[in-house]
Chains A and B, each alone.
Chain A
Amino acid sequence: MRDAVGGTLATLFLVFAPLSLMSFGGSNSVIADIAQQSVSVQHWTSQREFADLFALSRAAPGPGSMLAALIGWKLAGLAGALVATVSFYAPAALLLFVVAKLWGRWRGSPWHQAVERGMAPVAAGLFLSGGIAVLRASPAGPAVWIAAGAATAALLYWPRMHPVPLLAAGGVLFGLLDLLGAGP
Chain B
Amino acid sequence: MGEPTDSAADIPTVAGVGLSALFLAFLQLGCSSFGGSSAGWIYRDIVQRRRWLDDQEFLTEMALGQSLPGANGVKLSVLVGRRLRGGIGAFAAPFAFLLGPFVIILVVGAVYGRLGDHKTLHAVLDGVAAAVVGLTFSTGIRSVAKGAADAVSIGIAMGVVLCVGILRWPMLPVMLGLAPVSIGIAWARGRA
A residues bordering B, Cβ < 8 Å?
A: 20-30, 32-33, 48, 51-66, 69-70, 73-74, 78, 81, 85, 88-89, 92-93, 95-105, 107, 110-111, 113-135, 138-140, 143-144, 147-156, 159, 163-164, 166-175, 177-179, 183-184
With the chains together, A52 CA to B132 CA distance in Å?
Answer: 13
Give chain B residues whose Cβ lies under 8 Å from the Cβ of A70. 105, 108-109
Interface range on chain B (Cβ under 8 Å from partner)? 35 or more
On whether the beta carbons of B164 and A81 are closer than 8 Å, the reply is no
Interface of B is mostly: helix
With A61-B30, A104-B6 as contacts: A56 and B112 at CB distance below 8 Å: yes
**Contact of A118 with B165 in the complex, beta carbons under 8 Å:** no
Give the chain A neighbours of B66 by CB distance below 8 A: 25, 116, 119-120, 123
Interface of A is mostly: helix
Given contacts A126-B171, A166-B131, A174-B127, whether A27 and B159 have CB atoms under 8 Å apart is no
- Residue among A62, A102, A144 making CB contact with B100, cutoff 8 Å: A62
Known: A104-B6, A125-B160. A174 touches B78 (CB 8 A): no
- Whether the Cβ atoms of B156 and A125 lie closer than 8 Å is yes
Cβ-neighbour of B171 out of A33, A51, A55 (below 8 A): A33
Q: How far is the CB of A139 from chain B (nearest CB, A)?
A: 8
Given A62-B102, A151-B135, A170-B134, 4 new contacts (CB under 8 A): A60-B105, A92-B74, A128-B137, A170-B127
CB <8 Å contact, B148 and A121: yes
A148-B104 in contact (CB<8A): no
Which residues of chain B come closer than 8 Å to A95, judged between CB atoms? 68-70
| Interface CB pairs A-B, < 8 A, 14 | A55-B129, A56-B125, A58-B35, A63-B30, A69-B105, A78-B106, A92-B70, A102-B2, A110-B187, A125-B164, A131-B140, A152-B137, A159-B138, A170-B134
